[in-house]
Structure 1
């Protein structure tokens, strides 16, 4: 990689930052496309997000940035424009900077998650799904799973007001889909999805009670580092099929690059 005065810059905003994998994927992709650009990690806490976003509007060689935990929900209100998907789910993971400094947001996590499942031979159509989480990624995944034709969807979240809000918006958009925020145990679901950040740090509690998992169920993660979370290990020990977080990223890389303007 040869960085010069003409190199365009993209960032990824997160807190913590050590686990991010997107630069390792998009930098080689830019090189292959002949793009004079680089993506760098940007460690930004929740309290500093608004100030950072305001400042980067004035960075003329900045093409945009990826947004991950914990900023996916907060970023939408800080942008000038948002895609229909980002508005509907109330979260975004990609922000493009236009030449005049305007910021445009989109959310690709849901498309990437469902595409990642299907790539590995897991079709969520007709499945009963338990979704842990009601944050930005969880919102995107919930809507994408509904669009993919799941049979029913249960949402488990520590802050019930957030899961109730997500359930209400899902029910409005998909009135025929049974949605509950009282999932009970993990048994009886074909697919269990962790869309929280629990598992990112050593010692985190499990996002769901894994003792009720049985063989025949699939347990899916959005976390990419560690490659095998404590939930995945517990599910594997109980005979479940496990689906890691990396396919969600891999299946949206081209979408990210195109949206962010990573072209020669």
Structure 2
């Protein structure tokens, strides 16, 4: 990593918890490789402090932007002064550019990153029946990207059925050719099973779905990057499933994230 000086440009990743993030390592390696005097640091911001934190970001003239992670991806939408068309469509942000006048411009790259990570590992979601655990910001971005990628069916399962129904209704309107349903904890009958919740990040977390219903013909994927193998992935491997780790989603969007933060808005 480059030496930090008074001319170093700042970037951050904001979430709560924050110990699990891998973006600082990836972005800082990229900055060093590009010869750019910029650094990204993690910032732990609780939900109650998010609005004040956003106000503070606006005042930092040497700040280029922030990566937004759990649990702020939906809430940060209302704190942005403008959104990319994709972020407005999805209703979530995971990347924010601080414009020279202090305004915050939000974008969403999670969906592109996740599908890119799948394809990079030889998994094409086109024509697949997909089960998604969770209905938050990551789930929304990923399900929209799966619709764009040609998934045949998408099932949303969430602890709050109302939230799952809301996302399902949006997907049906956006992708009339995709069979969209609200499901239970049972992931059987799907080709691709994705955990888009935070369950698995902490030791002792409950599984996000009924792993006993997994079958060897399924691909089970995570968005969680740390631990590398969550309890769900371990259970899926034990059931004979092909597993897909969370890190490819980040790796496939790192350059897009850096470019979004370091370039002026069009």
Tell me if structure 2 keeps the 8 A contact 1:130–1:183: no
2:248 is aligned to 247
2:135 is aligned to 134
Tell me if structure 2 keeps the 8 A contact 1:30–1:262: no
Residues 46-57 of structure 1 aligned to structure 2 (within 5 Å): 46-57=47-58
Tell me if structure 1 keeps the 8 A contact 2:185–2:210: no
Looking at structure 2, the residues matched to 253 and 118 of structure 1 have their Cα atoms a distance apart, in angstroms, of 16
1:206 is aligned to 207
Residues 72-221 of structure 1 aligned to structure 2 (within 5 Å): 72-183=73-184, 185-221=186-222
Which digits, 9 at most, give the CA deviation of each residue in 1:104-123, with x for residues without a partner?
Answer: 00000000000000000000
Runs of 5+ consecutive residues of structure 1 not aligned to the other structure: none
Dislocated runs of 4+, deviation >4 Å: none
Report the count of equivalent residues.
Answer: 263
2:46 is aligned to 45
* TM-score, structure 2 as length reference: 0.97
Residue 64 of structure 1 aligns to a residue in which SS? strand
1:4 is aligned to 5
Which digits, 9 at most, give the CA deviation of each residue in 1:236-259, with x for residues without a partner?
Answer: 000000000000000001110111
Which digits, 9 at most, give the CA deviation of each residue in 1:69-114, with x for residues without a partner?
Answer: 0000000110000111111111000000011001000000000000
Q: How many angstroms does 1:185 deviate by?
A: 1.9
Q: How many angstroms does 1:182 deviate by?
A: 2.7
Looking at structure 1, the residues matched to 45 and 37 of structure 2 have their Cα atoms a distance apart, in angstroms, of 25
2:226 is aligned to 225
Looking at structure 1, the residues matched to 30 and 187 of structure 2 have their Cα atoms a distance apart, in angstroms, of 39
Runs of 5+ consecutive residues of structure 2 not aligned to the other structure: none
Q: How many angstroms does 1:184 deviate by?
A: 6.4
Tell me if structure 1 keeps the 8 A contact 2:185–2:208: no
1:15 is aligned to 16
Residue 10 of structure 1 aligns to a residue in which SS? strand
Taking a change above 3 Å as real, the CA distance of residues 161 and 116 of structure 1, as seen in their structure-2 partners, is: same
Which has the larger displacement, 105-114 or 173-182?
173-182
